[in-house]
Structure 1
Amino acid sequence: MDTVILSDWLAARLDRTAAEPVYRQVLGLMQQAILTGQLPPGAKLPSSRTLAGDLGIARNTVLHVYDQLTAEGYVISTTGSGTYVADTRPDTTAVNARKAPRAASGPVGVVAGTEPAQSGAPERGGLSMRGSRLISKAGVSARQWGAFMPGVPDVSEFPARTWSRLQSKLWKQANPDLLTYAPGGGYRPLRRALSDYLRVARSAKCTPDQIIITTGIHQSIDLAVRLLTDVGDRAWVEEPCYWGARSVLQASGLTLVPVPVDDEGLNPSEQDLKSPPRIALVTPSHQYPLGMVMSLARRRTLLEYARQHGVWIIEDDYDSEFRYGSRPLASLQGLDDAGQVIYVGSLGKMLFPGLRIGYMIAPEHLVDRFRTGLAELYREGQLMQQAVLTEFIMDGYLTSHVRRMRALYGERRQILIDAITARFGDTLPVMGDEAGLHLVLGLPDHADDREVTAASYDAGVIVRPLASYYNSETPERRGLLLGYACVPNDRIGPAFDTLARVIEQTALKTSAVPTRAA
């Protein structure tokens, strides 16, 4: 492409009516011509005066284009000689270099007893094996609100005016300390308020210094795993367990060991006990998703095993404030005398998920290192939000809000149970309804809960299949997780009628309709 052709080529492509400045258009077109080889390496560009005249634009515009092309390495300018296209073609020697063979050891971080579909390097342009596994097992839903989305509180009931008033008061003060990063594990007044709350509400043993503010349970677990484990370490997870926590562990390269649960919680076999893990992730106060409570005997056994074998226990206490018919249960951390338990929790379900404020109780001998690790990895902030939350807690709004929502959720829980009973009687079991924001509706053994989930989604009702919470491809139980917290009272019945029709239609395919006998 010679000088005349370049001018004609640019002129034919300039849109003088477009919102994009002429400078940006000329620059982009010349970059395109160089990258595609239409302007080959060594080609001399017309002078700025000549090109400006040919295009009918200001010479300064062309000068700015040439300066930018020079700065980005597209062209080389030589005083007294002119401007030439630089040779930016890839180095074929480097591109075609033989790749070193991959290490013989297989990938780590897979569930015990399973192997990836294929080994070797990831396909060109694709994800890593770890990334592919994470995406293929992802449980996140495109919809996060409505019947019967599990784990979501009713954010429409949040006292937004109160929160707004507290926030406005703090913004008027415009304290610079609240607008910077959050060193030291978070806003100290909030750590003090949470320490007082957890000692009373959860029987936790902690000081304000042991509280570390995070963005939620996922980040708390991620921080603990990064600081306390190495790639390939074994991690006990409950079978079934929360898919989000499982994904965090797998993405860190840990080898997951699914440990079954029974009516008393985590129940490791003799074989499990012979190979102590580096960490054990448990939900002792309300097992997720099945809802059982770990018995005191099992708690003491787990703590003693952890003490003797140096096992770190991560206690995920995600929604224990919402227990119906009894007071919230004491935490496992409150029984720990050896400093082996890392307690993690969140304000999301008590207030609103978008708040993204969680916390962890670190053992005293790890506090400083956890604080440093948090600041080094995540550069925490949100001090203004933490300050607002502190005011919200200290003025008593948190306690009153949780009390009110516990009553409301308990009412919705009962409406849903009544709807299930009215439609199916006792033919389908209800599990895990004593606490939390969801219950589990059992299905017949032959039913495919993933199929029911997909069909109900198409019908406008969100549920989650119990099968997706198992590590095994052949789950022990089939069922549906039904969240009731974010469903208005008058919508629970109609929404469940829709779900019930889907269950019945799916069951018809196997000639086993689980309807209530007349």
Structure 2
Amino acid sequence: MAPVQPPLSFNPAGIELDRRLGLARQLYQALRQRVLDGRLVSGTRLPASRDLAAALAISRNSVVRAYDQLYAEGFIEGRVGDGTYVANLPTAGTAAKKLSTKVSTGFSTGLSPGLSTKRSFSAEDCAPEVIHNAAVGRLESNHLPVPPSGPPRAFRVGVPAFDLFPFEVWAKLNAAFWRKPDLQQLCYGDPAGDERLRGLIAAYLRSSRGMQCTAEQIVITSGAQQAISLCAQLLVAPGDTVAVENPGYRAAGHAFAIAGAQLQGVAVDHDGIDCAALNGLDDCRLAYVTPSHQYPTGVVMSLARRLELLAWAERTGGWIIEDDYDGEYRYSGAPLAPLAALDRSGRVLYVGTFGKVAFPALRLGYLVLPAGCVEAFTRRRAVDVRHSEVSTQVVMAEFMAAGHFQRHIRRMRRAALNRRNTLLAGWPVDVPGVGCLPNVAAGLHLTVRVDSMAREQQLLAQARAVDVEINGLSSYWLPGSATAPDQRAGLVLGFAAVPEATIGEALARLRLAWQV
């Protein structure tokens, strides 16, 4: 009988921490990098938090916080009674080894890729006449619902608690800008957006997401939807196959269809988009995903699946559009590191928005791009809108620089958590045909399964009758999906749009309507 091999042990030698900066964050980044580049292989046993703290001469709390974030992101795992180990992640011959192991700055800086899967970008591509609208039939069969208008109400999806936005602070900053504007700012500006705002966004993403990006990689957009549309215009040639999550964000698919794409819906399981199915698609060179909180199922993409997806992009020369629409809302630990922070080959385009932490009508979003793509995206945007409205960018920059933005995010996260808890506590139980509520660790909405399409439609009609707004999960699927209709049924509920008292009143009306 072969002897049992003892687990590999970790030697902390070589970890250098700058005591002037956040020690927990530095330790987390150092350990994560060692897992990604193979210096810490799956199954390696890590020291107890007290022992590692002593070895590095730092507080145990710093080690615990670093370990907690690594646990949350799936880099390490605990074994009951046996300590902490590096998780079983893709290793040699699979996804992780297919990724480059060079030290990453977050994005490749020397990459100059063609901006279509079939042709290189040229000046002519900026001409409006090359934007393809030949997918009319496809769009008719892929009808895009118009977002609901009017004041927020329970349980509207995609709306944050903008009743808590500090409008007085915003008004003062806005008035200060217009009281004595910089005349230079009133001229035609940089199509990429206000330089100061781009720098502050880059700094925010470095601290909150671990993305080592620069202001030069950021292009300001009129919300996330324009960012997605720019990606569609520049990365998709007519006839290209584009993979989208199914169910998923239908407005993104709409943008790709306008550009002439052939949409391929890819199933989502408990780890995120099905990479095995993605690998089986012929000539697919672009995937649109929502890994931090899948829209609409709420699944958080696992680390192993993230590495598989990045390996797919590097192997095929494909692009990944990562929509981090509500990544600020995580209810335990820090937000998870996005795909863009793990990217080693410049294949991820990161979409961010202020609409989910401020209010949708702000129409302010951004793209974080591989360096080789920035010029083309800036030129394309210059053709479309020249540049964003100036005062909004300048005021947001001052809002961030003065510390209001971070305070507001903390307040919004607390409010969303309280509103989530109110929904979970008051949800009518034992409704016939309705599954159990899921655990909700992130985001602004949740999805609960229903056993049939007929039952979904009945529940939605009863909710509308008592003035409660709920979306049907069936509306998020692509037309012609292979999944059986009854397996597409469910209820999608936003929980952040209105205060707790209003949520309680809506739940009472639902209980009456559903006769629970």
Normalized against structure 1, the TM-score is what?
Answer: 0.69
- Rounded Cα–Cα distance in structure 1 between residues aligned with 2:375 and 2:258: 25
Q: Is the 8 A contact 2:320 2:347 kept in 1?
A: yes
- Rounded Cα–Cα distance in structure 1 between residues aligned with 2:195 and 2:343: 24
1:311 aligns with 2:288: no
Q: Is the 8 A contact 2:428 2:511 kept in 1?
A: no
Within the candidate set 204, 208, 222, 2:211 is matched to 204
In the alignment, structure 2 segments of 5+ residues that lack a partner are 1-134
- Rounded Cα–Cα distance in structure 2 between residues aligned with 1:463 and 1:271: 31
Match of 1:436 in 2: 443
1:129 aligns with 2:140: no
Match of 1:404 in 2: 411
**Which whole-Å deviations, capped at 9, do the CAs of 1:460-514 have from their partners, x for residues lacking one?**
111110000111554433211111111211111220122234445xxxxxxxxxx
Secondary structure of 1:213's counterpart equals: strand
Within the candidate set 461, 470, 473, 2:468 is matched to 461
CA RMSD of aligned residues (A): 2.2
- Rounded Cα–Cα distance in structure 2 between residues aligned with 1:337 and 1:446: 43
Q: Is the 8 A contact 1:450 1:467 kept in 2?
A: no
**Which whole-Å deviations, capped at 9, do the CAs of 1:177-207 have from their partners, x for residues lacking one?**
3334332400000000000001111111311
Secondary structure of 2:280's counterpart equals: helix
Within the candidate set 476, 494, 498, 2:505 is matched to 494
Normalized against structure 2, the TM-score is what?
Answer: 0.69
Moved more, 416-425 or 351-360: 416-425
Instruction: Give the structure with higher Rg (CA).
Output: 1
Match of 1:349 in 2: 356
In the alignment, structure 1 segments of 5+ residues that lack a partner are 1-126, 505-514
Within the candidate set 355, 360, 366, 2:367 is matched to 360
- Tell which has more relative contact order, 1 or 2 (C-alpha 8 A, sep 6+): 2
- Rounded Cα–Cα distance in structure 2 between residues aligned with 1:435 and 1:144: 24
Q: Is the 8 A contact 2:266 2:273 kept in 1?
A: yes
- Rounded Cα–Cα distance in structure 2 between residues aligned with 1:297 and 1:128: 38
Match of 2:51 in 1: none
Q: Is the 8 A contact 2:191 2:388 kept in 1?
A: no
CA gap of 1:270–1:433, structure 2 versus 1, over 3 A, is closer
1:381 aligns with 2:392: no
Match of 1:230 in 2: 237
Match of 2:250 in 1: 243
Give the total of aligned pairs.
378
Within the candidate set 218, 222, 237, 2:225 is matched to 218
- Rounded Cα–Cα distance in structure 2 between residues aligned with 1:295 and 1:381: 35
Match of 1:480 in 2: 491
- Rounded Cα–Cα distance in structure 2 between residues aligned with 1:245 and 1:319: 15
Match of 1:417 in 2: 424
Q: Is the 8 A contact 1:139 1:244 kept in 2?
A: no
Q: Is the 8 A contact 1:260 1:268 kept in 2?
A: no
Equivalences for residues 47-62 of structure 1 within 5 A: none
- Rounded Cα–Cα distance in structure 2 between residues aligned with 1:143 and 1:432: 30
Cα offset, 1:431, TM superposition: 3.0
Q: Is the 8 A contact 1:182 1:382 kept in 2?
A: no
**Which whole-Å deviations, capped at 9, do the CAs of 1:92-136 have from their partners, x for residues lacking one?**
xxxxxxxxxxxxxxxxxxxxxxxxxxxxxxxxxxx95355345x3
Within the candidate set 178, 183, 188, 1:176 is matched to 183
Secondary structure of 1:314's counterpart equals: strand
**Which whole-Å deviations, capped at 9, do the CAs of 1:259-288 have from their partners, x for residues lacking one?**
111111011335743524121000111111
Identity %: 37
Structure 1 counterpart of 2:173, which letter?
Answer: L
Within the candidate set 135, 140, 150, 2:147 is matched to 140
Match of 2:267 in 1: 260
Runs of 4+ in 1 over 6 A off after TM superposition: none
Q: Is the 8 A contact 2:221 2:388 kept in 1?
A: no
